[in-house]
Amino acid sequence: MTPAELLLRKAEDRSAVFGIVGLGYVGLPLGMEMVRAGYRVLGFDVKQAAVDALNEGRSHIQDVSSAAVAAAVQAGKFEATSDLTRLSEPDAIAICVPTPLSKTKDPDVSYVLAATESVKRTLRRGQLVVLESTTYPGTTRELLLPALAGTGLTVGEDFFLAFSPERVDPGNPKWHTRNTPKVVGGITPACLQVTVALYRHAIETLVSVSSTEAAELVKILENTFRSVNIGLVNEMAIVCDKLGVDVWEVIDAAATKPFGFMKFTPGPGLGGHCIPIDPHYLAWKMRALNYKTRFIEIAGEVNSEMPVFWVGKVMDRLNDRGRALRGSRILVLGVAYKRDIDDVRESPALDIIRLLERQGAKVSYHDPHVARIKDDGIELASVPFSADCIGAADCVVIVTDHSSVDYAVVARHARAIVDTRRAIKPQREGS
């Protein structure tokens, strides 16, 4: 029996052991779906505290319940470890590590390279390796393949290599790992075949593409599309402000068109682990090919400048009341990068706080999901939400519109409000 035939059989009877490198927002939900599909999962993470907590049945990811982790551990279907020498045990290994940007906006693939080196040291005949970390087109073939082929094993025959981008949307109550269609591209047809066979029991819909490069570019396109369109409506917010027009009224009216328009809304900027970062991977790759990705760069400029725009609106509101920003008490509502999650990665709220503090404002924040911030010069704890707290601030800035916050209380008690999310709906004539 060939290695491919053996993997196909193990996929069918669920005897395959599935390994996951990186047990964060991507890896842990994927691991729980693999458990649910009947596989035994061995998870790897360099953070010993996270490993220990998971083995005790405690989840550190908002979208994965501790009950689900505890049940998987007790059933003998899930184990976490920091011992990377055990990477020889799984039949399939999904690499789900971060791919941040450097300070110069270049791709930082050091985590991917480190994970690949660990897999290489234990790679055996018959294993599948799937990169899920978002990266630039060519990464799987140009970085992972030479490293793994350096063991003397032949891709598509002795071992298998594929790319399948994560599409996690933290906090989304409707779309999660299992029911979000999953794109898969293999280095060879055999690589694609075994990847689909192993994933299809855990993921409802698989979308096969012709190459790893196509799969890599799919994820970049998805988030570039969002970045560019958010940049457009953010610029429209500035245009409407200068014209004295309500941008949300304009967008709501435009959205009544049943074709040719997709609704995006403005905000304080971009945050999270995907949209602010992924387009820069493509821009970097294209610079190496002597091509300038103009839409990506313009959208990035507009989106990155939105915190400055909103701090300017805070100054305007205070000026209306005869106050300077310096010395004023500013309450920021919401610091997570999006509604109803606890993730502050790349959150525009952090930029807004820094800008306010540099101008001499006394900044506090409330976020029901984020108890404390410690990030590059910011060290704050969430204050309680109350009418007194709202009323004590010279200006309240709504940055993240968490659904559990009572915005009616904000509207009644705030002295001044800057609402970057339209959390407080205006009353219009005739409504």
Q: Where are any strands of DSSP class E within 132-252?
A: 160-163, 182-186, 206-208
DSSP element (H, E) containing 378: strand 378-381
**What are residue 363's DSSP bridge partners?**
330
**What are residue 6's DSSP bridge partners?**
none
53-90 as b/e, with b when 16 or more CB fall inside 10 Å? bbeebebbbebbeeebbbebbeeebbbbbeebeebebb
The single residue of 96, 191, 240, 274 carrying the catalytic annotation is 274
CA neighbours closer than 13 Å in the CB half-sphere of residue 388: 2
DSSP element (H, E) containing 20: strand 17-21
Assess contact for 36 and 178: CB atoms under 8 A.
Answer: yes
- Listed residue (57, 64, 130, 60) closest to 91, CA to CA: 130
Assess contact for 97 and 115: CB atoms under 8 A.
Answer: yes
Tokens matching residue 36: 């649910």
191 is catalytic: no
Assess contact for 370 and 333: CB atoms under 8 A.
Answer: no
**Strands ordered across the beta sheet of 206-208:** 78-81, 40-44, 17-21, 92-95, 128-131, 160-163, 182-186, 206-208
- Listed residue (8, 5, 34) closest to 196, CA to CA: 8
Determine the Cα–Cα distance for residues 281 and 213; give it in Å rounded to an integer. 13
3-state secondary structure of 130: strand
DSSP class of residue 274?
Answer: S
Positions annotated as catalytic residues are 274
